[in-house]
Amino acid sequence: MKTIKGPGLFLAQFAGDAAPFNSWDGITKWAADCGYKGVQVPVWDARLVDLDKLATSKDYCDEWVGQARANGVEVTDLSTHIIGQLVAVHPAYDAWVDGFAAPEVQGKPKERTDWAIEQVKKALTASRNLGIGQHVTFSGGLCWPFVYPFPQRPEGMVETAFDELARRWRPILDHADDCGVDVCYEIHPMEDLHDGDTFEMFLERLDGHARCNMLYDPSHYVLQCLDYLDNIDIYADRIKMFHVKDAEFNPTGRKGVYGGFQPWEKRAGRFRSLGDGQVDFGAIFSKMAAHDFDGWAVVEWECCLKHPEDGAREGAAFVKDHIIRVTPHAFDDFAGGADEDMNRKLLGID
């Protein structure tokens, strides 16, 4: 068994225009002060990182990582969540997500897709340059608008969507293999990869590509009423990253999984700060230890009630308290011993 690394913090929800959240030096010092040992970095945020330089300059990589270490944290992983989203966008969402892209490709869906693919590849190259073996992203979605359709979906439509999704991602995954980096899709609503079945449909079309893996986040499974503990047992070999995020699901006579178009605080399913929701993290960390997961436990804060800075500080302590330092031996080893003669006697073998 292996001991999980952590606590780490995903910086996407904390970066901002005010100090200390508007610079790499400031935000890493703040994260360390909160009790974090690592940070997961959104590569689209130019206040924190220059992706082009990460992908091309070893000196920049060394300086950037060195500054974080001097402030007390490691870089756990790079993230291209909102860039990966643009690899596959249904036209219904074009205007909604266009702001995720560079200005020169906004309003140009084909050029935007090509740009997103190259950006994700660039981030994989940067991960290699940093010596990081895993990368987190979203898959994007072509058929998400049809997740619960009426009238019924035309025959073959889902298959066509997943064929195209795999076609777009295969060259990215091949580049990831060249870089020695696992691509970890966060299994997430609005992405075509939103549960185990959809991940398997995608993986099948990629012929079981070794670099196609998962980021495990139980909060998204709570909101889908999916068994998040069984999910670990099923996909342990593909789970390479871990977001520690809490959630709760409290359906009423008025609302359930779909949320009734209500704001987050009024939905039946809500993300919560660690310890304030319903996720059984004791069981999750136990399963992670039993399955030899040795990556980082990274806090993602998205609570609809608590202040983010309070959630961050509490989250660091929460993860630290849940990480299991695995035992190097069985608890009853003191009473054992290797003795072949005794074994034969106990079994009645002459």
pLDDT tens-digit series, residues 271-307: 999 999 999 999 999 999 999 999 999 999 999 999 9
How confident is the model over 338-348, as a mean pLDDT? 86
Contact (CB, 8 A) for 63 and 129: no
Asked whether 22 and 16 are in contact (CB, 8 A), the reply is yes
Architecture of domain 5-347: Alpha-Beta Barrel (3.20)
C-alpha triplet 79, 271, 3: angle, nearest 5°: 55
Cα 319 to Cα 38: distance, rounded to the nearest angstrom = 12
Instruction: Write out pLDDT tens, residues 71-89.
Output: 999 999 999 999 999 999 9
- The yes-or-no verdict on residue 119 having pLDDT over 90 is yes
Question: Any idea where the domains of the chain sit in the sequence?
Answer: 5-347
| pLDDT of residue 332 exceeding 70 | no
For residue 333, pLDDT beyond 80 = no
User: Alpha-carbon distance 159 to 153, whole Å?
Assistant: 11
Q: What is the pLDDT of residue 329?
A: 73
Q: How many other CB atoms are found less than 10 A from the CB of residue 149?
A: 11
**pLDDT at residue 341, rounded to an integer:** 87
Contacts of 344 (CB under 8 A, 6+ apart): 350
Alpha-carbon distance of 101 to 264, in angstroms, equals 26
Query: What's the confidence (pLDDT) of residue 69?
Result: 98
